[in-house]
Amino acid sequence: MGSIVAIVGRPNVGKSTFFNRLIQKRDAIVDSQSGVTRDRHYGYSFWNGKEFTVIDTGGFMLGGEDNFEKEINSQVLIAIEESDIIIFLVDVESGINSMDYEISKLLHKSNKKVILAVNKVDNSKRQLESNEFYSLGFEFVFNFSAINGSGTGELLDCLVNFMPINSLVEKDEIPCFAVVGRPNAGKSSFINALLGEERYVVKDLAGTTRDSIDTHFKRFGFDFKLIDTAGIRKKSKINDDVEFYSVVRSIRTIENSDVCLIIFDASRSFDSQVKNIFWLAARNNKGIVILVNKWDLVDKKTNTIKIIEQEIRKEIEPFTDVPIVFISSITKQRIFKAIDSAMTVYKNRSKKIVTRKFNESMLPIIQNNPPPAYKGKYVKIKFCTQLPSLFPQFAFFCNLPQYIKDPYKRFIENKIRDIYDFNGVPIRIFFRKK
């Protein structure tokens, strides 16, 4: 599971600048997807082989001078509760103020790992001035500059040392399915339809579900855990701290699940926010099933299954090998097919291919379709294998891995999908020097 790192601090200390720097690191090093929409307040970073989610708690503003506690408790307490590690950002330029002391009191009461990050330390004079922040009483203190990046490496080294090493042992548990989507897409109605009872409050008002709720489903030959999450919506629409809490909890739910059932309303388009949720699940290497809900209310003359399927697959390119099920939570149309699809995707995600058979199927394809020559040099792939991990990852060993470009990686991925059924599952492919 990826760790959740929250950046907390009073306004105008550089939280968003630091947050953006972390997100860019991920984009530059790891991310092969382009043009993916992201919310401003959460994203991904990668350092020393570890991936983690970053939450920016920016946005809360100070009231009167004697009103500190009321103003800071809301978002900071949410961040403390839901994150694994906290980066407490302060500003050497303005020095310590009362707000910093109030936040530090809250952090000391928590049992979370806290890194005190002193921002804007970009010369020797400020290096000296930063010493006053040791009075806040934190063990791990780092001076850095969010704008030019100096000192960021040491801070991140400390951060990832707090993160657990990902276990490669498969969990011996029942599958865990997360029901995610925009507010008011019908997530709770879908679960109620499955359970055959009004287990969750359902209203037309968006955002009724505020928390993630687990349900053990064991009937009709199925056995799995189902989690209903609060809807994820754009930051501009999050007007209260409860919604902020809901978004953070939804992110954690996706990270802790095996398969994400992404529900969206058939009467609305597969918009940027639904795509955002899709890539949130894909980047976490989760199995994915897309559920087009409220299908009973759609005019079938103008919107056929084929047309809508094509539209969705165009929006999620290049990862289009995903099951799409058209359902109605009210009439219970295809709700068990949706679960059946999720079970199949779960099995696909944990599929292991014998190395000998994998080489027998892939090496002839590679021989007939070798990577394009680069600067007159030819890449020769000699061996391939599936890596031991919780989701499908494959390594191809060759003489010049640096010359293999994204189009050829996509070609190899498509061939793997043609031969083996990885429907609904993201695949990672690595080319390594033999």
Q: Is the pTM of this model over 0.95?
A: no
Confidence bin at 288 (pLDDT 50/70/90)? very high
Confidence bin at 420 (pLDDT 50/70/90)? very high
The one-letter amino acid code at 4 reads I
**DSSP strand pairing (176-181 vs 393-398):** unpaired
pLDDT exceeds 80 at position 207: no
State whether residue 169 is helix, strand or coil: coil
pLDDT exceeds 70 at position 260: yes
Instruction: For tokens 């094509």, name the residue.
Output: 310
pLDDT of 69 reads 46
Confidence bin at 284 (pLDDT 50/70/90)? confident
User: Among the residues of 124-211, which ranges form H helices?
Assistant: 124-129, 152-161, 187-195
pLDDT of 221 reads 76
DSSP state for residue 97 in the 8-state scheme: -
Round to whole Å and give the CA distance between 134 and 139.
8
> Which of left, alpha, beta for 186 (phi over 0: left; psi -120 to 50: alpha)?
left
pLDDT of 115 reads 93
Helix (H) or strand (E) holding 178: strand 176-181
pLDDT of 106 reads 84
> Which of left, alpha, beta for 151 (phi over 0: left; psi -120 to 50: alpha)?
left
DSSP state for residue 423 in the 8-state scheme: T
Round to whole Å and give the CA distance between 204 and 312.
25
Q: Is the peptide bond before 392 cis (omega within 30 degrees of 0)?
A: no
**DSSP strand pairing (50-56 vs 42-47):** antiparallel
* Lowest mean pLDDT, pick from 254-258, 284-288, 301-305, 398-402: 301-305
pLDDT exceeds 90 at position 169: no
pLDDT tens for 17-35 read 888 888 764 332 233 333 3
pLDDT tens for 327-372 read 888 888 888 899 999 999 999 999 999 999 999 999 999 999 988 8
Average pLDDT over residues 407-421: 93
Confidence bin at 213 (pLDDT 50/70/90)? low
| Residue-level length of the chain | 434
For residue 347, give every residue at least 6 positions away whose Cβ sits within 8 Å of its Cβ, in sequence order, or none.
none
Please answer whether residues 322 and 425 qualify as being in contact, where contact means their C-beta atoms are separated by less than 8 angstroms. no
Confidence bin at 229 (pLDDT 50/70/90)? low
pLDDT of 148 reads 84
The strand pairing partners of 333, in sequence order, are 328
Tell which residue, 55, 57, 50, has the closest CA to residue 2: 50
